[in-house]
Amino acid sequence: MAIMSEAPKPDSGMVERFRSVMLPHLDAAYGFARWLTRDPVLAQDVAQEAMVRALRYFHAFRGEEARPWLLRIVRNTWHDARMKQRADQPLEAAEEQPTEGPDPEQSAMIEDRRRHVAAALAALPAESREVLVLREIEDLSYKEIATVLDMPIGTVMSRLARAREKLAGDLRVRLGRRTNGLRDL
């Protein structure tokens, strides 16, 4: 039986490299955690724990792309937290801040549409939501998503297609109109 060795304590050089490589992706880590948890406070906890884990295991980072590496840690941290809780309670989707614009009516319509999209996205199953958030919000490539989710690119593509169909169908119902896809919204 192999015994896992403890991660080496980061020295000042490693900490400085971590800051320069990983900290630019902190907002992406929090944003992904927020979509996974559907709770801004819990998302802060998950993102913080993920950053601690990333620093602890930064010695294993081999210069691959930093954002997908960090987002995978965020996902694993969230899954570990869920395993500890063993409770899968639906949480209310947090409302987005209203956009400011010169035309109050148009701003209200845009905000209403955003609320519908956020609610529809929050209502998706976790596997659909995470692949959509990684592609459409975090703008990761299929290859990067495959890395984060630890699955083949073909599976990413098929999940993404199904998730887009589910989201578009829900939005058609919510918005009361027919669309040809997400881009029509």
User: What would the pLDDT profile of 23-67 be if each residue is shown by its tens digit?
Assistant: 999 999 999 999 888 889 999 999 999 999 999 989 888 877 899
Percent of the chain at pLDDT above 70?
77
Q: Is the pLDDT of residue 184 over 60?
A: no
Instruction: State mean pLDDT over 82-100.
Output: 49
pLDDT at 180: 53
Longest Cα separation, the chain: 67
Residues whose CB falls within 8 Å of the CB of residue 68, separated by 6 or more in sequence, listed in order: 140, 144, 145, 147, 148
Average pLDDT of the chain is 80
Q: Is the pLDDT of residue 145 over 50?
A: yes
Whole-angstrom Cα distance, residue 129 to residue 126? 5
Which amino acid appears at position 137 of this protein? I
Confidence tier at 89 by pLDDT (50, 70, 90): very low
Whole-angstrom Cα distance, residue 96 to residue 69? 27
Whole-angstrom Cα distance, residue 151 to residue 145? 8
List the domains of the chain with CATH numbers: 12-85 (1.10.1740.10), 104-184 (1.10.10.10)
Q: Give the residue among 77, 15, 29, 22 at the shortest CA–CA distance from 49.
A: 77
| 73 vs 103, more confident | 73
